[in-house]
Chain A
Amino acid sequence: EADIYQTPRYLVIGTGKKITLECSQTMGHDKMYWYQQDPGMELHLIHYSYGVNSTEKGDLSSESTVSRIRTEHFPLTLESARPSHTSQYLCASSESGAGYGYTFGSGTRLTVV
């Protein structure tokens, strides 16, 4: 079944740890995105990719980094987690071209203590 998967669903980690949030999709979509969702619901674009070896920074400045070595995989890494990184992280993908909706994963809820 075509879908987009995020792991882990929940993560509690100590300050200073390095973490990688995984995102994989089976739809063959070229474009992928990472959003940070604050408690007030608003979605903030932090990274996106047009395809393999393409990564772009989004509207919200983030200390995280991303990579796109394979079409289906778009991991997000925090080198040194801080309490300010506590948030919900949502991954999404879409077809190439204009005017296509996004398919979102279920998200990773990260808590840094």
Chain B
Amino acid sequence: GENVEQHPSTLSVQEGDSAVIKCTYSDSASNYFPWYKQELGKGPQLIIDIRSNVGEKKDQRIAVTLNKTAKHFSLHITETQPEDSAVYFCAASKNSGYSTLTFGKGTMLLVSP
């Protein structure tokens, strides 16, 4: 089955710096890659996703890049703010109605003012 590795497990940055979280996946048939943000006391919330026919996608301060050849994808957050502090999860799934998302183990991002 699919295996998703996520690094780093914790990431501390100063406000205004950029943050990058990286994930690798094992199943070359995977073609959907969402990212989730989980704030304290809440469930994970989808913040951005990318499909295999696209190499990069941006939404304001966040962007995701995908390298299908190397089987890795990354989340980039620019101009970080204290409210970006949360746990971030990457995930991957195949192009099948019967597939489920395989999640990475999560990255705790701490943005210091």
User: Which A residues are closer than 8 A to B by beta carbons?
Assistant: 33, 40-43, 45, 48, 50, 58, 90, 92, 96-107
Contact = CB atoms under 8 A, between A and B. Distances in A.
Nearest to B43: A104
Contacts of A101: 34, 46, 49
A97 B93 CA distance: 11
Contact of B106 (A42, A92, A100): A42
Contacts of B97: 50, 96-98
Given A42-B105, A99-B51, A106 B100 contact: no
A99 B93 contact: yes
29 contacts: A41-B38, A41-B106, A41-B108, A42-B103, A42-B105, A42-B106, A43-B44, A43-B106, A45-B100, A48-B100, A58-B100, A90-B43, A90-B44, A96-B97, A98-B93, A98-B97, A99-B31, A99-B93, A99-B95, A101-B46, A102-B34, A102-B44, A102-B46, A103-B46, A104-B36, A104-B45, A106-B42, A106-B43, A107-B43
A102 B34 CA distance: 9
Interface string B86-113: 0101000111111111010110100000
Interface of B: 31-32, 34, 36, 38, 41-46, 49, 51, 87, 89, 93-101, 103, 105-106, 108
Contacts of A98: 32, 93-97, 99
Nearest to A40: B105
A100 B93 CA distance: 9
A42 B38 CA distance: 12
A104 B41 CA distance: 12
Contacts of B34: 101-102
B87 A41 contact: yes
Nearest to A6: B43
